[in-house]
Structure 1
C-alpha cells in the first residue's frame, strides 16, 4: 500500500488572531508563513519515504481556510527540491477549467519531472468560487437543478483530457465543449499545407480547414488518475476507465460495498482485480505517546475545521447514526464531539503508533479479504497554530513513516 499525504493549506492562526487579522487570507505575511510551512511538510514527506503529496483546490477563502488556488504551479518548485515523491493536485475541479488547458499543463509537468505526477479530478460543490470562476449559477454539484448538469460537464471534460493525452489528434463535438471550435472546422487555415505535411494525418482536410486538434506535449507517462467517489455511478465509471477510486473512510460496511462494486465492475470490463486493487481510502491520522494526546491534537485541527467549516457543507452526513434525527441536517455540538464521531466511524485514526497500526490493518484489508493500493492521509496537523507546530508536524510524519508505514508495504 502506498501512502499519499493530502495536506491542508489552511492558515494556522488562533481564532482570536483570525478575528483581529481579518481577512487573514489576504494577509501576505500570514500566507507566506503558511506557504513555507506547507513546503516544509512536502520536503519532510519526501525525505521520510512517502509516496505522494497533494492538496485540494480552493479559491476566495479570505477567512483563511483552504488557500491553494494552483497547486501544480507550486509543485513545480517543490519537485525541483525533492527526490522521489509524486505530486498530485487533489483534486482539479474540472467543470471550473478549460479541459484542453488542463491536459496541456499536466502533460508538461510529466516532461519536467518524469514519473512524479498523479492527479485527482472532481466535480466541485462550493457555490462561491464555482459560480464566480465559471460565470454560471447552475453548475455546482450536489445542488438541486445543477447536479445533473455538473456531472455532464465533468464527464465530458474528463473524456477530453484523456483523449488529448492518448490521441495524436482528435475531434470532439459535445454538449458543452468542441474541439476544434467550431467542431465543423476552422476554415482558411493559413498554414494548411504546412500542417498537412508535418502535422497529424487528419488535422487539416483537402480544403484547408482544421478538422482535428493535436495537444502538445503528449504526456511522457500517463498520470495516475484518482477519482473521489460520491455515487455508485462515479464508482462504475472509474472501474470501467481504469481510474483509481478514492473512498472516504466512514461507514466500514459502506467502504467494503463500494470496493466490491469497483472490483466487480472492473472484472466485468476485462480487468481482473482483487478487492482493494485500484482503490484508495482517505482518512485522518493523529499520533501521540497516548491516545488522549493524539485525540487532543485531532480536536485542535481536524475537529476545529470540520466543526466550523465543513459541516456547513453537509460533510457530516457520512457520520450519521441511527440515533440522529433523519429529518435534520447533522450538526455536532462542538469540535470534540465531532472528532469523537469521526473516530468512531473510522474516518479518523488516532492513538499511539501501535494503536493506529491496528486501526489501519482493518482498513488496509478493506474490512475483510482485500488489500488496498493507496492510503491518503488527510493531514490537518498543518492547520495547527503556534511555534511548536512544525516540530509536531514533522514528528507526526516521522513516526508514521518509521512505525506504521512499513507494516503495509
Structure 2
C-alpha cells in the first residue's frame, strides 16, 4: 500500500488573526508563509519516502481556507526541488475546466518530470467558485437541481481527457463539448495540404475541412487517475468500470462490500483483479505520545475545520451512524464531539504509532487484506504558532518510521 499525503492549503492563523487581517488570503506575507510551509512539507515527505503529495483545487477563499487555484503550476516548482515523490492534484474539478487544456497540462508535466504525476478528478460542490468559473448556475454537485447535470458534464469531460491521451486524433460530438468545434468540421483549413501530409490520418478531408483534432503532447506515461468518493454509489461503479483508482472515505464496515463491488464490476469489464486492487482509502491520521495528546491535536486541526467549514457543505454526512436523526443534516455541535465521531467511524486514525498501526491493519483487513493507496488527509499543516513546523515534521517522521514500513 502506497501513502499519499493530501495537504489542505490553509493560511495558518488564529481566528483572531484571521479576523484582524481579513481578507487574510490576500495578505501577501500570509500567503508566502503558506507556500513556504507547503514546500517544507514536500521536502520532508520526499526525504522520508512517502509516495505522493497532493492538494485540493479551490478558488476565491479569501477567508484563508484552501488557497491554491492551480496545483500543477506550484508542483512544477516543488518537483524541481525534490527527488522522487509523485505529485497528485486532489482534485482537478472537471466541470469548471476545459478538458482539452487539462489533458495538455498533465501530459506536459509527465514529460517535464517523468513518472511523477498522477491526478484526481472530482465533480465540485462549492457554488461560489464553480458557478463563477463555469459561468453556469447549474453546474455543482450536491445540489438537487444541478447534481445530475454536474455528473453528466464530469463524465463527458473525463472521457475527453482519456481520449486525448490515448488517441492520436479524435472527434467528439457531445452534449456539452464538441471536438472540433463545430463538430461537423472546421472548413477551409489554411494548412490542409500540410496536415494531410504530416498530421494524423483523417484529420482533414480532401475539401480542407478539419474533422479530427490531435492533442499535444501525448503523455510520456499515462497518469494514474484517482476518483475521490464520499458516498456516491454511481461514482464507485464508474471508477471500477473504467479502471480508475477509487479513493473512498467509507468507514470500516463499508470497505468490504465496496472492494467486492469494485472487483465484480472490474471483472464484468474484462479486468480480473485481486480484491482491493484499484481501491484506496482516505483517512485523517494524528499521532502523539498518548491517545489524549493525539486526540487534542486532532480537535485543533481536522475537527476545527470540519466543524467550522465543511459542516456547511454537508461533508460531515460521511460520519453519520444509524442512530442519527435521518431528517436533518448531521451537526454534533462542536469540534471535540465531531472529532470523537470521526474516530468512532474510522475516518480518523488517532493515537500512538502502535495504536494507529493496529487500527490501520484492521482497516486494510476489512477491505480484503489489500488496498492500493492510503491518502493521509494531513491537517497538521493547518496549525499556527512557532512550534507548527516541528509538529508537522514530527507527524510525518513518526508515520514514516513506525507505521509505513508495515504496509509496504
Q: Which TM-score bucket, shorter chain as reference?
A: over 0.9
3-state SS, counterpart of residue 280 of structure 2:
strand
Residue 228 of structure 1 deviates from its aligned partner by 1.2
Question: Could you list the per-position Cα deviations for residues 184-203 of structure 1 after superposition, in whole angstroms to 9, with x for gaps in the alignment?
Answer: 11000010000000000111
3-state SS, counterpart of residue 5 of structure 1:
strand
The equivalences for 1:81-100 within 5 A come to: 81-100=81-100
The equivalences for 1:185-224 within 5 A come to: 185-224=185-224
**Contact 2:55–2:90 (8 Å) recurs in 1:** yes
| 1:402 equivalenced with 2:401 (yes/no) | yes
| 1:287 equivalenced with 2:287 (yes/no) | yes
3-state SS, counterpart of residue 377 of structure 1:
strand
Task: Structure 2 unaligned segments of length 5 or more: list them.
Answer: none
Which range moves more in the overlay, 252-261 or 125-134?
Answer: 252-261
Paired residue for 1:225? 225
Question: Could you list the per-position Cα deviations for residues 296-328 of structure 1 after superposition, in whole angstroms to 9, with x for gaps in the alignment?
Answer: 110110011001000111111121223322111
- CA shift in 2, pair 1:257/1:362, >3 Å: same
Paired residue for 2:26? 26
**Contact 2:100–2:164 (8 Å) recurs in 1:** yes
Paired residue for 2:373? 374
The equivalences for 1:4-15 within 5 A come to: 4-15=4-15
Q: RMSD across aligned C-alpha pairs, in angstroms?
A: 0.9
Paired residue for 1:245? 246
Which range moves more in the overlay, 124-133 or 368-377?
Answer: 368-377
Residue 150 of structure 1 deviates from its aligned partner by 0.5
CA distance in 1, matches of 2:367, 2:116: 32
Paired residue for 1:54? 54
Residue 12 of structure 1 deviates from its aligned partner by 0.9
Paired residue for 1:326? 326
The equivalences for 1:314-393 within 5 A come to: 314-365=314-365, 367=366, 369-393=368-392
| 1:164 equivalenced with 2:170 (yes/no) | no
CA distance in 2, matches of 1:219, 1:192: 26
3-state SS, counterpart of residue 87 of structure 1:
strand
3-state SS, counterpart of residue 392 of structure 1:
helix
CA distance in 2, matches of 1:262, 1:181: 36
* Divergent runs of 4+, >3 A: none
Task: Structure 1 unaligned segments of length 5 or more: list them.
Answer: none
| 1:106 equivalenced with 2:106 (yes/no) | yes
CA distance in 2, matches of 1:189, 1:76: 35
Paired residue for 2:148? 148
CA distance in 2, matches of 1:10, 1:368: 32
CA distance in 1, matches of 2:259, 2:143: 26
CA distance in 2, matches of 1:105, 1:193: 29
CA distance in 2, matches of 1:355, 1:107: 41
Residue 368 of structure 1 deviates from its aligned partner by 5.5
**Contact 1:274–1:370 (8 Å) recurs in 2:** no
CA distance in 1, matches of 2:379, 2:184: 49
Question: Could you list the per-position Cα deviations for residues 46-99 of structure 1 after superposition, in whole angstroms to 9, with x for gaps in the alignment?
Answer: 110000000010100111011110000000001111111000000000000000
Residue 257 of structure 1 deviates from its aligned partner by 1.6
Q: TM-score, normalised by structure 2?
A: 0.98
Q: TM-score, normalised by structure 1?
A: 0.98
